[in-house]
């Protein structure tokens, strides 16, 4: 299948940011005096929109406390975390190679619009993507609306698109939208979780993903 459109999750798929998200969430929780959540629990919510993630981690979190936590998390993630982040090795080369094959590229992420735009600007890759969707401007994963909007905007049928992500939220969203998926095993969710969502493959590096796409997609 020669996929016309390849849609990427951001955190944990293209960008090695899982450790920074966990660190920022835990430090923010300490600052606002919420119970600190273990690493694995924070990793499990990566991919959700931030309000949905906070509600999952701290059920019943109040509106004012939600707002304070949101601001604290954003500050730690953007400027105050000591954990580095950047593209996984080979990610940009892979994206540029797909463009040379005249494929469309898109991003479907649980990040906010402000957060994604900042990273696209700082990493100088915004020009690579035909469109992007963020959780605060549509429905959070795993609801399929994010993918449905991307498909409609680019006039691409579900069977012409491939979703690539590192969480069950990405894969469940793809399944609900009728879009094929490939999982990345180097992100937030483990391989057993990913395989339960029936992706076409689980890849563990950008090189492995590129090889799979060239052979199968």
- List, for residues 86-139, the tens digit of each pLDDT value: 999 999 999 999 999 999 999 999 999 999 999 999 899 999 999 999 999 999
Phi and psi at residue 148, in whole multiples of 5°?
Answer: -60, -40
74 with 120, same domain: the answer is: no
pLDDT given for residue 81 in this prediction:
84
In this structure, the number of other CB atoms found within 10 A of the CB of residue 160 comes to: 17
Distances (CA, A) of 135 to 49, 69, 80: 5, 17, 23
Q: What percent of the chain has pLDDT over 90?
A: 87
User: pLDDT tens digits, residue range 154-200?
Assistant: 999 999 999 999 999 999 999 999 999 999 999 889 999 999 999 99
Reference 187, options 76, 22, 6; nearest CA is 22
**Strands of the chain, DSSP E:** 5-8, 104-109, 131-134, 161-165, 180-184, 202-203
113 with 139, same domain: the answer is: yes
36 with 134, same domain: the answer is: no
Domain that holds residue 58: 18-80
115 with 53, same domain: the answer is: no
- Residue ending a domain, among 80, 97, 122, is 80
Q: Is the pLDDT of residue 217 over 80?
A: no
pLDDT given for residue 188 in this prediction:
87
Mean local confidence (pLDDT), 19-28: 94
Phi and psi at residue 104, in whole multiples of 5°?
Answer: -85, 145
Asked if residues 26 and 34 have their Cβ atoms less than 8 Å apart, the reply is no
100 with 186, same domain: the answer is: yes
CATH value at residue 185:
3.40.50.1000
Average pLDDT, the chain: 94
Mean local confidence (pLDDT), 45-53: 91
* Dist CA 202 CA 38 (whole Å): 26
């Amino acid at each position: 299948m020669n996929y016309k459109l390849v849609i990427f999750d951001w955190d944990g798929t293209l960008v090695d940011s899982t450790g920074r998200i966990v660190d920022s969430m835990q430090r923010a929780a300490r600052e606002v005096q919420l119970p600190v959540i273990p690493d694995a629990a924070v990793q499990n919510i990566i991919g959700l929109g931030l309000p949905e993630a906070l509600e999952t981690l701290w059920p019943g979190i109040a509106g004012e406390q939600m707002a304070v936590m949101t601001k604290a998390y954003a500050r730690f993630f953007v400027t105050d975390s000591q954990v580095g982040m950047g593209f996984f090795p080979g990610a940009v080369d892979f994206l540029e190679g797909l463009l040379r094959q005249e494929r469309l590229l898109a991003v479907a992420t649980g990040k906010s619009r402000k957060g994604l735009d900042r990273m696209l600007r700082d990493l100088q890759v915004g020009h690579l993507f035909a469109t992007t969707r963020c959780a605060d401007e549509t429905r959070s994963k795993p609801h399929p609306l994010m993918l449905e909007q991307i498909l409609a905007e680019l006039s691409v049928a579900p069977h012409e698109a491939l979703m690539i992500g590192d969480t069950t939220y990405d894969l469940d969203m793809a399944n609900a939208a009728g879009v094929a998926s490939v999982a990345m095993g180097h992100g937030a969710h483990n391989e057993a979780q990913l395989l339960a969502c029936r992706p076409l493959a689980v890849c563990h590096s950008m090189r492995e993903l590129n090889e799979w796409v060239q052979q199968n997609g």
